[in-house]
Structure 1
């Protein structure tokens, strides 16, 4: 049995090529400091991610605020910048975020970035939200208005229930 040679493949059509023009990515510097002059608060900010329990990771020291690095940064075109920190701890005692309860609508929050730029926010509201009812999708919004969500513990402390019942949430809009 002999096999006959296969027909040659047709010639490939010619294609004009040109360099790809990718859109340039906007890089916004990470926040490094948050200041609320009306209550005498000035704290360093560190980038954080997700803790083993699936919640936002927080710095152990209540005198340091965490920025959720997987969401918007101050100066991004849209979405909520989320900063959070502990109200207190056994190791460090009561932290400066206890002063957030004194904030009133209209107060100014300034967030400084690694490149020296600053973004100003004006407080819209301060509220306690039951941790079980916290609207995570709303708090960590990647689209929509440019907001700052500053979060710590709030409400009564329940030693048998594992800590504070609520989150204190400060919502502020970019100026």
Structure 2
């Protein structure tokens, strides 16, 4: 993750994980399963290798043709994908707080850039929800929220994820619905070169909340962190 020069421009545009993710009708889950090989680089965005049939498009498709990739740019070439529009069934998350920390931040919806990277909000004090996957409160699968870990001059709220203790309460405010509470079940440091996107962006199985950012050792030669910090929380 590349560090930003100001607190308000803490993100990049399309680099792998932390600072700096899918939706699909149930009938097409198996065929459209994401094998997101996410890496958090530059603390700007999460890189994801998405199969053609499962990769979402951020723009409506032209008639009879595959959708043109959306605006964000990156360095990984990808092929056009047939868009699979996710009809939201659960309220969108709007605000995140974590007990015992200063994590008290708005949540914005994000998608996937043309190179298969999960978009991450530029402001270091905003979290991005991967809108093509389950929402917090969905009956199954993992809802993923990601944000930057720091700026060039200071730490961002998500820098505290690595220290969360099991049992910590995470609260998600939702649009037009009651707030949800989750309880932390574990904190994992996952090497970027061994990132398991399938387990993070799961759309079936028990409902979970995943909070993700960069972490581990800063690698000067790569101008990036070597790992991702992944917090898993279950409905309380």
Q: TM class, shorter-chain normalised?
A: 0.7 to 0.9
TM-score (norm 1): 0.80
Match for residue 168 of structure 2 among 107, 120, 123: 107
Please list every run of at least 4 consecutive aligned residues from structure 1 whose deviation after the TM superposition is greater than 3 angstroms. none
Once the two structures are overlaid, the 10-residue window that deviates more, 74-83 or 25-34, is 25-34
Residues 55-91 of structure 1, C-alpha deviation per residue, up to 9 Å, x if partnerless?
A: 211011111000000000011110000000110134x
Equivalent-residue separation in structure 2 for 1:134 and 1:121 (angstroms): 24
Structure 2: which 5+ runs fail to align? 1-86
1:131 aligns with 2:202: no
The answer (yes or no) to whether the contact 2:102–2:157 under 8 Å persists in 1 is no
**2:181 pairs with 1:120:** yes
Between the aligned partners of 1:152 and 1:26, the Cα distance in structure 2 is 25
Map 1:6-155; keep pairs closer than 5 Å.
Answer: 27-90=89-152, 93-155=154-216
Indicate the residue corresponding to 1:10 in structure 2: none
Which structure carries more relative contact order (alpha carbon 8 Å, separation 6+)?
2
Secondary structure of 2:199's aligned partner = helix
TM-score, normalised relative to structure 2:
0.60
In 2: Cα distance, 1:130 partner to 1:47 partner: 26
Where do 5+ consecutive residues of structure 1 fail to align? 1-24
More strand by share: 1
CA distance in 2, matches of 1:163, 1:133: 15
Aligned residues: 150
